[in-house]
Amino acid sequence: MNKTVNQKAWFLVLPVLVLVAFSAVIPLMTVVNYSVQDTFGNNVFFPAGLEWFRDTLQSDRMWASLGRQIMFSAIILAIEVPLGIFVALNMPKKGAWVSVCLVLMSLPLLIPWNVVGTIWQIFGRVDIGLFGYLMAQLGIDYNYTQDALDAWFTLVIMDVWHWTSLVALLAYAGLQSIPDAYYQAAKIDQASRWKVFRYIELPKMQGVLLIAILLRFMDSFMIYTEPFVVTGGGPGSATNFLSIDLVKVALGQMDLGPAAAYSIMYFLVVLLISWVFYTVMTNIDKRGGA
């Protein structure tokens, strides 16, 4: 759509600006403020320069958490995106079943995150959970509170359970926008199922898939509540992701300076990766729209 230049449009954006400034800029400035100061308590602060940033950058613990976090997000994306597309391709195209599938699939998305954690905490337990029980029946030694690999497995399958539907619904929305004529043309050309997918469906889904990847990346990178409920970062520190580690530093040890420096770097990493995604996304939007 051709937009007109209108500087007065700023007035329409003003309420959002004020609200977001209040709920984002002020807290963020507080964080920045803490990150360059030190305190011995009693609210007496003195400047500490970039010491906290240097400390955090040299802390093995932070790098280990970052590594775990990147691995977790990578595994999540590698499973959920293909699986979501696969499910979307198999969803009914029209009829009463569409609504049923949509409603049933969205259900996990609307469960409070700590309840999601609780559900899987119960479900995976060897003594009272169905999943743990079945694993025991199959003779597999499975215990997510003791074994690091089992804890990872539980968290990954929980996230797949929780969020694959989001990817599937987005991909489905993309598929629905493909006109029938495309498929008919493919049929006349006797294109194989794979070619239809590769040259018709995938390009048409590109835009929504990027949204899906962006959303899934951001949310998996910020994941806190679910692993906190299920494993609490354990066993040991095997599932200590960035958010969990940050909260441990900030609220557990009340180390405001290091926690603030940590927060800022965390935010910057998310911002950087998301910015790359966003730039790619808008470029594709432009090419598709023109």
Partner 1 sequence: MSATTTDAAATRARARTGRRFNTSALVMVLYLVFLFLPIYWLINMSLKPNSEILGGVTFWPRNFTFDNYVTILTDPSWYMGYVNSIIYVSLNTLISITVALPAAYAFSRYHFMGDKHLFFWLLTNRMAPPAVFALPFFQLYSSIGLFDTHIAVALAHCLFNVPLAVWILEGFMRGVPKEIDETAYIDGYSFGRFFTRIFMPLIASGIGVTAFFCFMFSWVELLLSRTLTATEAKPIAATMTRTIGASGIDWGVLAAAGVLTIVPGALVIWFVRNYIAKGFALGRV
Report 6-35 residues binding partner 1 (CB under 8 A).
6-10, 12-13, 15-17, 19-20, 22-24, 26-28, 30-31
Q: How far is the CB of 189 from partner 1 (least distance, A)?
A: 23
- Does 275 interact with partner 1 (rule: CB under 8 A)? yes
x/- contact string, 119-158, with partner 1 (CB under 8 A)? xx-xx---xxxxx-x-------------------------
Binding-site member from 39, 59, 118, 206 for partner 1 (CB under 8 A) = 118
Question: Long-range CB contacts (< 8 A, 24+ apart) of 87-91?
Answer: 87/164, 87/165, 87/168, 87/171, 88/167, 88/168, 88/169, 88/170, 88/171, 88/172, 88/174, 88/175, 89/171, 89/175, 89/197, 89/201, 91/168, 91/172
Binding-site member from 101, 155, 230, 261 for partner 1 (CB under 8 A) = 101
- Would you tell me how many other CB atoms lie within 10 Å of the CB of residue 268? 10
Q: How far is the CB of 199 from partner 1 (least distance, A)?
A: 19
- Does 79 interact with partner 1 (rule: CB under 8 A)? no
Binding-site member from 170, 213, 230, 261 for partner 1 (CB under 8 A) = 170
By three-state DSSP, how is residue 47 classified?
A: strand
Note the maximum CA span of the chain.
78
CA angle 275, 278, 281 (to 5 degrees): 155
- Does 63 interact with partner 1 (rule: CB under 8 A)? no
- Does 115 interact with partner 1 (rule: CB under 8 A)? yes
Q: Which residue has the tokens 């949509």?
A: 102
Radius of gyration of the chain (CA): 23
Q: Which stretch binds partner 1 (CB under 8 A): 58-66, 141-149, 187-195, 273-281?
A: 273-281
x/- contact string, 234-263, with partner 1 (CB under 8 A)? --------xx--xx--xx----x--x---x
Q: Which residue has the tokens 């966003």?
A: 278
By three-state DSSP, how is residue 37 classified?
A: strand
Q: How far is the CB of 140 from partner 1 (least distance, A)?
A: 16
C-alpha pair distances (Å), 185 with each of 76, 176, 188, 194: 36, 17, 5, 15
Selection from 216, 213, 242 nearest residue 227 by Cα: 242
Q: Which stretch binds partner 1 (CB under 8 A): 39-47, 48-56, 89-97, 142-150?
A: 89-97
- Does 70 interact with partner 1 (rule: CB under 8 A)? no
